């Protein structure tokens, strides 16, 4: 399966980052799971430049700008030059800081223009009895892919991350395998409408939100997802090691 780590801003020192990178390389060889490390931007250059190892690197975001006089922005071109091959886009924590659907769409275009594979995060704030949360997911997917070519649409990874499930623990029983299976099916149905031919069958769909060593196996079994986007549990060496091994 694919395990994408989102270190967020949990990892702030070089020694911890180095340990997590080394452990991840070992784990990917040992378990054959594909591991992508979403590190804070400064660490990409330190670890990913000319990377030929068993792990890949992702940026946690890219700028919607194309460079130039935009102080402080980290562009897709710079992220790609530093050695990342993936980028998260539209994470709920970025959306909460102002990324609208339109901005998310621009960022997708920037990433694809520099051959970064986008991991597009979508997810509802809360569940309601009328199924309006399904419309939220449809809107997020549709507006994000709208301006892209058919070919570009086939290159995107989707991470389903319901906001109500982020930042809790496995003990909170955040989402059940059945609910997750239903959402994976729904996302694939929407993608089938947006992608050319039968190509949506090949889209990688991840789940994220309080995935920990204690629930990863149950969530993987029969839920129809292709992997996970892991937040807090990916920023701790012991927890991440157990989590990856528990999936095997
Ligand atoms: P969490 O974060 O695993 O800490 O819930 C997931 C995410 O926000 O990507």
The token duo for 122 is 């979508």
Q: Are strands 86-89 and 34-38 parallel, antiparallel or unpaired?
A: unpaired
Rounded to the nearest angstrom, the distance between the alpha carbon of 109 and the centre of ligand 1 is: 24
Our mutation pick for probing the ligand 1 site, out of 209, 233, 239, counting the most ligand atoms within 8 A of Cβ, is: 209
The structure tokens 């060593």 sit at: 213
Catalytic residue from among 106, 161, 212, 232: 161
Cα–Cα distance between 200 and 153 in angstroms, integer?
9
Q: Are strands 117-122 and 205-208 parallel, antiparallel or unpaired?
A: unpaired
Whole-angstrom CA distances from 236 to 6, 19, 95, 112, 179 are: 11, 10, 25, 31, 28
Burial of 210 (0-12, 13-18, 19+ CB in 10 A): buried
The structure tokens 């006089």 sit at: 69
Cα–Cα distance between 163 and 125 in angstroms, integer?
5
Q: What ranges make up the beta strands (E) of the chain?
A: 2-6, 34-38, 55-59, 86-89, 117-122, 157-160, 205-208, 227-230
Tell me, what's the pLDDT at 170? 85
Cα–Cα distance between 195 and 174 in angstroms, integer?
30
Catalytic residue from among 33, 91, 140, 232: 91
Is the confidence at residue 171, as pLDDT, over 90?
Answer: no
Q: Which residues approach ligand 1 with their CB closer than 6 A?
A: 6, 161, 166-167, 208-211, 229-233
For the ranges 26-30, 150-154, 167-171, 233-237, the lowest mean pLDDT is seen at: 167-171
Cα–Cα distance between 119 and 228 in angstroms, integer?
11
Tell me, what's the pLDDT at 174? 86
| 87-139 pLDDT tens trace | 999 999 999 999 999 999 999 999 999 999 999 999 999 999 998 999 999 99
Active site residue 91: yes
Give the global pTM: 0.97
Residue of minimum CA distance from atom 2 in ligand 1: 231
Cα–Cα distance between 101 and 90 in angstroms, integer?
8
Is the confidence at residue 25, as pLDDT, over 90?
Answer: yes
Residue of minimum CA distance from atom 6 in ligand 1: 231
Active site residue 49: no
| 214-237 pLDDT tens trace | 999 999 998 999 999 999 999 999
Whole-angstrom CA distances from 229 to 25, 193, 194, 209 are: 17, 24, 23, 8
């Amino acid at each position: 399966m694919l395990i994408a780590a989102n270190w967020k801003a949990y990892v702030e020192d070089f020694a911890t980052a180095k340990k997590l990178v080394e452990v991840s390389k070992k784990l990917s060889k040992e378990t054959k799971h594909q591991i992508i490390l979403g590190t804070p931007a400064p660490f990409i250059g330190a670890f990913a430049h000319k990377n030929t190892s068993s792990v890949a690197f992702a940026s946690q975001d890219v700028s919607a700008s194309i460079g130039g006089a935009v102080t402080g922005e980290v562009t897709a071109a710079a992220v790609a030059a530093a050695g990342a091959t993936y980028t998260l886009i539209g994470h709920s924590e970025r959306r909460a800081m102002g990324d609208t659907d339109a901005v998310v769409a621009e960022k997708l275009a920037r990433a694809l223009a520099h051959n970064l594979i986008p991991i597009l995060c979508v997810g509802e704030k809360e569940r309601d009895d009328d199924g309006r949360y399904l419309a939220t997911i449809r809107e997020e997917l549709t507006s994000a892919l709208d301006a892209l070519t058919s070919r570009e649409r086939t290159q995107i990874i989707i991470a389903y991350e319901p906001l109500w499930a982020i930042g809790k623990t496995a003990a909170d029983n955040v989402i059940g395998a059945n609910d997750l299976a239903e959402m994976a099916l729904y996302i694939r149905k929407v993608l089938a409408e947006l992608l050319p031919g039968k190509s949506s069958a090949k889209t990688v769909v991840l789940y994220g939100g309080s995935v920990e060593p204690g629930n990863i196996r149950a969530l993987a079994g029969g839920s129809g997802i292709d992997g996970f986007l892991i937040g807090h549990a990916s920023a701790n060496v012991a927890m991440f090691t157990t989590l990856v091994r528990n999936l095997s």
